[in-house]
Homo-oligomer: A and B are copies of this chain.
């Protein structure tokens, strides 16, 4: 999905919500266990109920890999099922030496056919570039993550800047705003502001809304742009809003609540 189309979808749906499909077999409603593929069945119903209220879905590969080859199959079906109007983001945090990263790029962009993948920056330029060779796809580099461990290395000073800002500074030399985004954790709005200053026109994927404690207003205030420039991700607070048969309906209600908050920011910021 191209940048213009993503922005158009945000305007049309009045939402910059991304729903994290972190689907844990132990937390899905009991009645779904009768389905041939319970994980996919859960995701399918969540997607059907919510796609009008969000612009992206982000399955995290960990939850699927925990189930082995069968889980990988559920992931494939899920990516395929995501409506074309929504961005499909494989939250995989991959990265390896250049030759090997090119196999990851193939795995996620060709075999799995995701629109976007999250990538870890630790191994530097040749680990990121193979993803950028796919011009019609998005590479979303981890800059600042939402967890406590982000203080161990990401916010340490490297010369003038902190490491997460050095990551942003380097990466914007490698790709433009049409195919590169950054992950910036919702739990640190003051630091998101610094990323926005360095990368004024890049989209930021912001996880950590909801269960992890980040606030929509705080991060929108810190980084929304006239083209929106944000994808805010919520996972557990939406997909596990209920563990009963009404789980999809309750997920949609949660998504709508978030979208209502977002409408206000879009009215204020977008032309």
A residues at B contact (CB < 8 Å): 22, 24, 60, 62-63, 65-73, 76, 91, 93-98, 100-101, 103-104, 106-108, 110-112, 120-128, 142, 145-154, 156-159, 163, 166-167, 170, 212
Contact = CB atoms under 8 A, between A and B. Distances in A.
A24 B127 contact: no
Contacts of A156: 158-159, 163, 166
B65 A145 contact: no
Contacts of A97: 145-147, 149, 212
6 contacts: A62-B101, A62-B107, A66-B103, A93-B123, A98-B147, A124-B148
Contacts of A110: 66
A8 B91 CA distance: 40
B151 A124 contact: yes
A108 B65 CA distance: 8
Contact of A142 (B112, B122, B145, B152): B122
Given A95-B120, A120-B95, A149 B163 contact: no
Given A96-B60, A158-B158, A159-B157, A149 B166 contact: no
A114 to B, nearest CB: 12
A159 B67 CA distance: 42
